[in-house]
A and B are shown apart, each in its own frame.
Chain A
Amino acid sequence: MASMSKADIGRFLARQGILIAFAVFIIGFTLANERFLSPDNVMGVVRSSAILGVMALGVTFVVISGNLDLSVGSMMSFSTIVVLDLHDKIGPALAIPAMFAMTLCLGAFIGFLVGYLKLNSLIVTLGMLSAIHGLTLTYSGGQNMDIVDKEGTWFAVFGQGSALGIPVPILIFILLAALLGIILAKTPFGRKVYAVGGNGTAATFSGIKRARVVFLCYVMSAFCVAVAGLIQASRSMGSQNTVGQGLELDVLAAVILGGASLLGGSGTIFKTVIGVLILGFIQNGLLLIGLQFYVQYVVTWVIIILAVWLDIAAKRGKLWSNIA
């Protein structure tokens, strides 16, 4: 019982840590520049974080199940290119479901390899990063994709529209976060995801089909990637082949910043959303106080390490590691 409460305190501290850091940043940036917390700026930051955020929601499932997904960036390029290409060929109403189907197939393939064949997720998704990039280039013939008639289509609504005064990307992000948050926290499937990531063997012995849970996590991640690709395509109405390149690392950074352990079994959708917002607001705040764009990389580095370090330190009750 005592050790139980100690672990609870540790977990509590870890969660507070990230929120406290977030609050300190917000206060600091606000003091430095009063524009920081203006509604326009806040809306702008959330809106530009929406694509990253949507992808991070799916990756949260994968990470909690104890796996990694490094392929989401190139998969997002794929869905963006595909939906833009199909838009002019078969119309948006058919292009969107077709793109979702193709992206989900990719996710299912990864889920099959990692879930059912039990291959190492880091290597599989690293391979798929390269393979899907090749697939995208083959599909597009290396050309940029553009919607020809940008005015005469309702396709722009997902990226540029707004409802009730809120931009649609933000609405999609909020709705998806709420939906996935409920699935993860309140359904049997969500509990199975935690069980599989926390202790796979124990989960198997208690009758959970580990392979199927992992498979579904990757399908969910692919679904989120498809949504992100849709927003991206609709926002820019044209795209390069490499639009999502490198995003997998930002996504992972956001998820880790939210406190999900790469070993699996811990993390929540809410904390991932906080992680995404922290990244977005830091980037924005650094620009507002007049620093170079690239300083954010260095700051992100320091923050990631500090966040994970403090999380671990809280759990082991000691600042420095036990490594001899």
Chain B
Amino acid sequence: MEAGKLSKFLKNGAIWGFIVFELIFFSVAGQFLSLSDKAFMDVDNMLLLLKQSAPIGIIAMGMTIIMINGNIDLSVGAIFALSAVILLDSMTWTIFAGLGDWVIPVSWGLALLTGVVLGAINGLIVWKTGVDAFIVTLGSMLGFRGLVFMYNGENPTSNLNWTLVDFAEAQFLGLHTATWFLAVVTFVIWYVMTRTVHGRNAYAIGDNREAAVNAGIKVGPHMLINFMIIGFLAALSAVVFYSESGSVNPNDGQLYELWVITAVVLGGTKLTGGAGSILSTLGGVLAIQLLRKGLGHIGADTSTVNLVIGLILIAVLFLDRQLNTKGKEELKI
């Protein structure tokens, strides 16, 4: 019993322990290896890190629900890109010409609506056809990306609105706008998953779908809602990111699904569904961003970051299984 508790504690705390380890490692290593004389754990640097975590982090919260449900969504990068295109392009539509800066909330609304609709398409197909979410979203990842390209060819869609940029670059209580969005999303999704019936159902369905059906949970609509949530969050991520940058390439968001899934798995959510926590996902997001930033800080290039993240993902999978089997053995006794 004692040992079971210990392994559970280790598992839940592991991601935060890893973050502390990263902070110490990069601070110390940075003293010797870094080209800049700024410390790694500089306040501005850490605030920037939180801001840079936001685009992946916001989507990762939705992916956690999807994965707790026992599904997966590979199309988030494409939803991100299409919402961004709608966001920036709709600001220049002539029907909105008279709105002035009031076009901003309208465009935001349109972008978010795009995300929700795309998510609903995924969800409806998963629900009505019974095709595995992996295949459905693999297909729509191609399809949605095709829509992005059909919209504007290979040209970037650009529209810099200075009011919007000011808003996106603003800092409130020290934190950037994007960080606030990440914080609010994390809190809301955490609340949904731990304090509401919807959250409880998500775990139940992922854990044992048949039992959930027998318990009277409407699995189809439930999954549809979750796909709409992740579509909304992918669009929100695009809104946060492109309000500042003002220009979207049709290839933007590619491999986002990879980063997001890596963050969620690092946070300990099971691919098979039924287990996972929003706060640990936040840990996973921060750990990855720390790793990217830290490796950059000590002078490593992108290639090393890719290599290290890939291997860490596999190592986590291995350790997680070891801990799990250990935990089960303890329970048997």
Contact = CB atoms under 8 A, between A and B. Distances in A.
B303 interface: yes
B150 A138 contact: no
B175 interface: no
Interface stretch (B26-34, B42-50, B108-116, B254-262): B254-262
B218 A294 contact: no
B contacts with A: majority SS: helix
Given A131-B307, A294-B146, A324 B220 contact: yes
Contact of A134 (B132, B150, B304): B304
Contact of B135 (A123, A133, A304, A321): A304
Contacts of A132: 310
Interface in A106-147: 113, 117-120, 122-124, 126-138, 142
Given A122-B271, A127-B310, A298 B146 contact: yes
Given A305-B129, A323-B127, A134 B220 contact: no
B321 interface: yes
Interface stretch (A164-172, A188-196, A221-229, A249-257): A249-257
A312 B126 CA distance: 12
B311 interface: yes
Given A130-B306, A137-B306, A323-B220, A123 B146 contact: no
Contact count band on B = 35 or more
A321 B146 CA distance: 27
Interface string B302-333: 11111111111110011001000000000000
B66 interface: no
A12 interface: no
Contacts of A312: 129-131
Given A133-B306, A249-B138, A324 B129 contact: no
A117 B146 contact: no
B149 interface: yes
A262 B138 CA distance: 12
B195 interface: no
Given A138-B304, A312-B130, A124 B317 contact: yes
A138 B303 contact: yes
B303 A323 contact: no
A243 to B, nearest CB: 15
A131 B138 CA distance: 21
B143 interface: yes
Central interface residue in A252, A263, A304, by most chain B CB within 10 Å: A304
Contact count band on A = 35 or more
Interface string A37-77: 00000000000000000000000000000000000000000
Nearest to B305: A134
A302 B142 CA distance: 10
A132 B149 CA distance: 28
Given A134-B303, A294-B149, A295-B150, A305 B139 contact: yes
Contacts of B318: 113, 117, 119
B279 interface: no
A134 B72 CA distance: 25
A236 interface: no
Interface of B: 72, 125, 127-132, 134-136, 138-147, 149-150, 153, 213, 218-220, 223, 254, 258, 261-262, 265, 271, 301-314, 317-318, 321
Given A134-B302, A300-B139, A302-B139, 8 more contacts: A120-B271, A127-B309, A138-B304, A262-B135, A296-B146, A298-B150, A321-B128, A323-B219
Interface of A: 113, 117-120, 122-124, 126-138, 142, 246, 249, 252-253, 256, 262-263, 292-298, 300-302, 304-305, 308-309, 312-313, 316, 320-324
